[in-house]
Structure 1
């Protein structure tokens, strides 16, 4: 059975999608942008800041589902340019001191509102 996961600690869905869907023991997280859920504003001063905000949003959704960053199986990362990879990767790596998830990282010409980072994820809940 499909269950919708929501939390006020991550940005609200602004379209026909959910923050996350649990199906069995798998949690599918929608792409997270660098929106601060408290202010509703994008944090865009740097790629590092955008990455940190995306990761904190992911962490909040995971926690709402009773999970943690340790449960992540895969992340799909979209960068506006691969020139941002170093700054992104430094922050991203800090969230996974041990056993990081699998990852796909691609350059995308169309991240929402001219942002530089978007991250979607899949987690296992067993």
Structure 2
């Protein structure tokens, strides 16, 4: 099967050796998004809720560039530097998804790129 690289200026450009997303058949593999504002490539703020909203905005842009929506995500992985923010993630996630919700993992890790507090990646089925 052929692979198609997904790229949009409406999400942060890759800051390493990866693509924003790769489509194989009807499956799209989204790279992790952090709370960078696409136009400036700067972290939106230090506020966890604002960072989470920006991550979902970035994911939305990549999903749309691939021909889908957030609700087409079958699986998301959420990486946080502090699991005490779990309730905030749930609240914000409920604003961006409708049921049935995607499968999900939420994991606390020690650090993320650019010192951000959250990163989310996913797998979308079109």
Does the alignment pair 1:65 with 2:66?
yes
Does the alignment pair 1:90 with 2:98?
no
Aligned residues: 125
Deviations 1:25-82 (A, max 9, x none): 1000000000000122101331111111001100000100111112110000001011
Distance 1:6 1:122 in 2: 16
- Contact 2:79–2:107 (CA<8 Å) still a contact in 1? yes
- Contact 1:47–1:88 (CA<8 Å) still a contact in 2? no
- Contact 1:35–1:54 (CA<8 Å) still a contact in 2? yes
**Equivalent runs, 1:1-126 vs 2, <5 Å:** 1-125=2-126
Q: TM-score with structure 2 length normalisation?
A: 0.95
Structure 1: 4+ residue segments shifted above 6 A: none
Q: Which moved more, 1:41-50 or 1:52-61?
A: 41-50
Root-mean-square deviation (CA), in Å?
0.9
Q: TM-score with structure 1 length normalisation?
A: 0.95
**SS class of match (1:105):** strand
Long gaps (5+) in structure 2 = none
- Contact 1:44–1:115 (CA<8 Å) still a contact in 2? no
